[in-house]
Amino acid sequence: MWDNRICDRGAAPLGTALQSYGGLEHLAVGRNRITDIGLQSLCRPFQSVVLVDQAEVTAAKERIQQQLADKEAATKGKAKEKAQPKTAGARIRREPILLVEVLKELGNSEWQLRRPCELQVLNVSDNPIEQVETVEALLPDGPDGAELVIRGTAAAAAMLARRQELASSRRYSHQGGWTLRIV
């Protein structure tokens, strides 16, 4: 989706689509018209959520139990399929990835809900992303180890001006969450 004039209005439905599909590994939306608002829309499906309401926690636990049951049922179904002989020339279909959310207790009756995903890289290079604060706010709650590439943005230039050590390392890893790539 590189260089397609996608703006914040286009990034919002893309973020909504990413909410329902966690199997995407690489999304490159560089050289578009995505600003800080669009970046937040794209990152929202991958961000963890802090739950404080007990009803939300209970609903999340029930959803996780259902996800575990679905994953176990799918695993048993695959075992039966492997036992059947394969026909020559049959297309191999990619199986949907069944991901299970993770609920972690933070204390003070707060829980953190993380939606796991297969995302490895979100590249938003050369977009008009300007606010360092927006990028820094997204870093801790993103998917663990996935790269957020902001090379060629005003936010990257401002971040390099503030922190000279980032110019030599090329990456900034936050404890859990996105790994930021600037250069």
Residues 139 and 176 in one domain: yes
Q: Quick check: 97 and 121 in contact, CB under 8 A?
A: no
Q: Quick check: 140 and 175 in contact, CB under 8 A?
A: yes
Question: Which has the higher per-residue pLDDT, 89 or 135?
Answer: 135
Q: Bridge-partner residues for 112, per DSSP?
A: 50, 104
Number of structural domains (the chain) is 2
Residues 101 and 140 in one domain: no
Q: What is the mean pLDDT of the chain?
A: 84
| pLDDT score recorded for residue 20 | 80
Q: Specify if 2 maps to a domain.
A: no
Task: Say if residue 125's pLDDT is above 90.
Answer: yes
Q: DSSP 3-state assignment of 170?
A: coil
Please report the sign of the dihedral spanned by the C-alpha atoms of residue 3, residue 5, residue 6, residue 8: positive
| pLDDT score recorded for residue 123 | 95
Interval 147-170: pLDDT, tens = 999 999 999 999 888 877 666 666
Q: How far apart are CA 48 and CA 58, in angstroms?
A: 17
Interval 35-46: pLDDT, tens = 999 999 999 988
Interval 11-55: pLDDT, tens = 999 999 988 887 888 999 999 999 999 999 999 988 888 888 889
Interval 89-111: pLDDT, tens = 667 666 667 778 888 888 888 88
Q: DSSP 3-state assignment of 49?
A: strand
Residues 121 and 41 in one domain: yes
- Full DSSP string of 6-47: -BHHHHHHHHHHHHH-----EEE--SSB--HHHHHHHHGGGS
Task: Say if residue 175's pLDDT is above 80.
Answer: no
- Domain span including residue 143: 8-47+117-181
| pLDDT score recorded for residue 34 | 96
Q: Specify if 87 maps to a domain.
A: no
| pLDDT score recorded for residue 104 | 87
Question: Which has the higher per-residue pLDDT, 144 or 94?
Answer: 144
